[in-house]
Structures are given as structure tokens and as C-alpha cells.
Chains A and B, each alone.
Chain A
């Protein structure tokens, strides 16, 4: 493992922006987005924008394993809910703990589960791996539903503070700000992976695992890195959820919507680049939030389904892929 980490630091000559510059630009964009949302002067804007940004993180996390490495994970809700329920536990045990610390712990828990799942299932190829991840989601949901400490099937109430720390105003503003920060970290990580030896190793695994191994790529080790990173970011995306919904029960924490959207958004945006999940999340997530208030809260699920089918058939490279092909 040590040699893997050493190589990760060895990046190719950066195309376009360097890593630090990219992070600064992203922070600036996040700050502008936050100021715009605040200027609307309506809590609902924060609630809607939070969901879109949450899906950016979730889609980016899914894409690290599904898009870069080629392993399709149907068990998104398992990792997402582990993050969420880890916050429920922390809220009961250590209510004074700051939210970023809870997110970090939730992420570590989900990453560990990702590592374990990866170790047990990564010898399965293709669709068999996907089925195993689906089974994981069912197993985790059953365990949580029967765990009384976190409310079991009844669910748990998590009261959010009335006032946001640091920035003042409604607490949802703070939740949104934290999620924006998480999104910047997830994007910077995904983009750094794409340009590093790690990204090339992932791509080799996706294209042909035997040829990758014959070229010196430690496939099992790299796949474990991918499952841990992917699971970890999913957990972090889920960790603030209890404060967002204030009442969390298994059927909402493990809602199929999360899994469908986390897969649909990278596929629609394009799986080859960090930009894909962002484009997908803005398009699908934005459309869903719009339809939720204008037409019906049930129709919004249809959006992801219909768009996903359309893109898989008409533009399998996603929106980003369409533009890349034009450039070439």
C-alpha cells in the first residue's frame, strides 16, 4: 500500500489549472453560490439548493467507483444511511460535537464499510458485484431497522439548533454552507484522481482487469482505494441529513431515490470527468426540485428515470461526452 500512496503524489504535468488554483476557483464559486442563495432571502432556496449540492457529492462519490473504475454500485443507500445514522448516534451521545466532525466520523464509518465490502466482493466481476452491493443495502437497512438505539423502525428525531454557528441566521444556511464545502472537497479529490497515476490505474481496471494486472497495476489494492473513497464520500453526503430532515426513519434514509439519483446524475452528465456528476446534479436535481413545487412531489422521481433511459440510449457518454466528441 505504501508504494501506491507514493505514486499518488506523482502526478502528470497539470493540464489547465493546478490543484491549488482549482480549489481556490471552486471555493470562490461556492462563495458566490452561497451569497446568491442568501440574497434570495427565503429559507426554501436553501432547502432546495442543499438537495442539489448533496447530489453533487453523492454523484461524484458514485462516479469514483462506477465511472472511473467501472464497478457499478447499486448499494448507494447503505453508505449514505451509514453516514446519516452515524450522526444520529453522535447527536445522542455527544450533542455538543460540531457538524464537520460528525461528517468526518460518518465518512470514516462508511469508508470502512466500503473497504470491507470491497474486500469481500471485488473478486466478483460486473453484474455480480452490483447485485452484491444491492444485497448490502438490504442488510444494512435491516440492521438499522432493528436497532432500537437509533429509533429502529419508528425513526429518530434530531432537533437542529435554531441559530447557525459562525454565520448566524437560520441553521439551514449553515447546513448548506457545510455541504458546499464538502462538495468542493469531493470535486477536488475526483479531479486530482483523474490526473494522477491513481486515475490511470482506475481506467486500466475499467477497461481490462487482466491486462491492467499484467501491466503492473495492483488491481485489488486500487479497487479497495476506490470503494473506500466512494463509500466515504457517500457517508459524508449523508451525515448532515438528520439535521436537514429533523426526523429520520429507515424508509426515508434508505429511500431508493438516493440510489437512483446518484447513478442517474453521473450517467446523464457523463462518467468520464468530474464535471459530469455536477452537470447531471444541476440538471436533474434542479428539475426535480422545480417539479416538486410546481407539479407534484411524486413526479420528480420520474424525471431521473426517464432522463437516464434517454441518455443511456441516445448519448451513453453523457452531456460532457457530447461536448468532448465535438472538440475532437
Chain B
């Protein structure tokens, strides 16, 4: 089986600072991958290189067997790669339903496999908002939302692009215990619908419950990759988190 996402020897520098070095990562279709690492270890930089927000100087990223190097972020989204942002970035002047309309118009319709218009778009927006429990707020503005609702909107907007792969960048940070469970259930449900998910997270309880496989980044290098229970016991991983 060919990998859905194939990251090969990716390196990224910011001036003299090496943010990522020789990162290799494969994600199989339908997989749930956890990605952890201390603050500043390069997780978000890796996401940005995969999604095209940043350009990696070394290595290459391929998706569905085709190299994506040189493609812009919106082209990668149209290929089926969606992300949520670490800090929610809703379109502030648009209602919740209109927020979801953007990826439907510009990712789903632009892809050309199916074209939604008029009432079909409205119905799809409501359906997606329903999946995250925000259907009754469809006509409200993002500024009226609570923190967890904002995270849900962020995920719903990523899902609106009909992705094959969803990268959730710390969707749970700062949420309460019960709210973490809610987002966790949501991501597992999406995975059940056939979407491959990469979850970046600090909350280990959620990471261990979610991940079928776990990769660990420390200081721009991948130091472990494998079965979650085994990975968290590896001495190098323990050292990175707890020190000597």
C-alpha cells in the first residue's frame, strides 16, 4: 500500500536556526497519527511545510503519490490536504455558515469532482456545523463564540474542504477535561468516516487515546516513531520531556 503522505528528508532553516532537519514521515490512508514534541521542537513548522505555508529548503513532500514541491497552500488544499490552525483564525466578518462556504467554493468546487451551488451549499454548511454541534449558531458571527466553539468551527472549516488528510494543530490546547473529550470524539468520528488524521497535541491523555502510531519531534529532529505505548517509554523521549 502506498503512503498517503510521504515526507522525505525535509529540512527548514530560519536564518542560522535549524528548525527541521532530515524529517522522514509516512502516513498511511485511514491512519490516526499522533505528533508530539516539546514547545519549539518544530511541530508547527513541519505542518506549515507540509501544507505549503512555508517552503522547505531541503527534502520533498508528496501526497497521494505525487510530489507537491512548489505548490502553493491553496493548491495543496485542493489536492485534499486540510489543516486547522493552532490559534483559531476564523473569517471575522462572515457568519459561521459563510465561513464554511469559503472552502466549499474554493476547494470542493474548484476540485471539480462535484460542484455545489445555491441551496446545496447552504445545506452542506448546515450539515458540517451540525457535525460539530454548531448548527443553531449558523447565522452568528465568530466573535460570539466561546473558545471551544471556535476550535470546533476551525475543524468544521477544515472538514468543509472534503480533505483526505486532516492535520489538527493543537485543537485542544486550553480546553477543559470534558471539552477535550468532545474534540477527541469528533476527530475519531471523522477518522471513522475515512479521513486520515494527524493530531498534534500536548495533552498526553488525548494523544494516547487517539493515536494508532506516535511520532516524536525534538529540536527539529524526529527521535521516535512507532507504537504509542512503546514510544513514550523510550529513554530518549522520556529524557526530552523530563530531562536527565
Contact = CB atoms under 8 A, between A and B. Distances in A.
Interface in B54-104: 72-74, 77-78, 82-83, 85, 89-94, 98, 101-103
A211 B161 CA distance: 12
Interface in B150-164: 157-158, 160-161
A192 to B, nearest CB: 15
A2 B108 CA distance: 16
B187 interface: no
A256 B90 CA distance: 37
A12 B77 contact: no
A212 B109 CA distance: 15
A200 B73 CA distance: 18
A216 B108 CA distance: 9
Interface string A178-195: 000000000000000000
B78 A213 contact: no
Contacts of A7: 105-106, 109-110
A115 to B, nearest CB: 19
A200 B101 CA distance: 8
A214 B115 contact: no
Contacts of A206: 93
Interface string A142-176: 00000000000000000000000000000000000
B107 interface: yes
A286 interface: no
B118 A12 contact: yes
Contact of B53 (A200, A201, A213, A272): A213
Contact of A214 (B77, B108, B117, B119): B77
Q: By CB atoms of chain B within 10 A, which of A204, A208, A213, A216 has the most?
A: A216
Given A207-B93, A208-B91, A213 B73 contact: yes
Contacts of B102: 200-201, 204, 212, 215-217
A201 B106 contact: yes
Contacts of B98: 200, 203
Given A3-B110, A214-B83, A217-B106, 19 more contacts: A7-B110, A10-B105, A197-B105, A200-B101, A200-B102, A201-B102, A201-B105, A208-B89, A208-B92, A212-B91, A213-B74, A214-B51, A214-B53, A215-B103, A215-B161, A216-B74, A216-B102, A216-B108, A217-B102
12 contacts: A13-B118, A201-B102, A213-B74, A213-B77, A214-B73, A215-B102, A215-B103, A216-B77, A216-B78, A216-B107, A217-B106, A218-B72
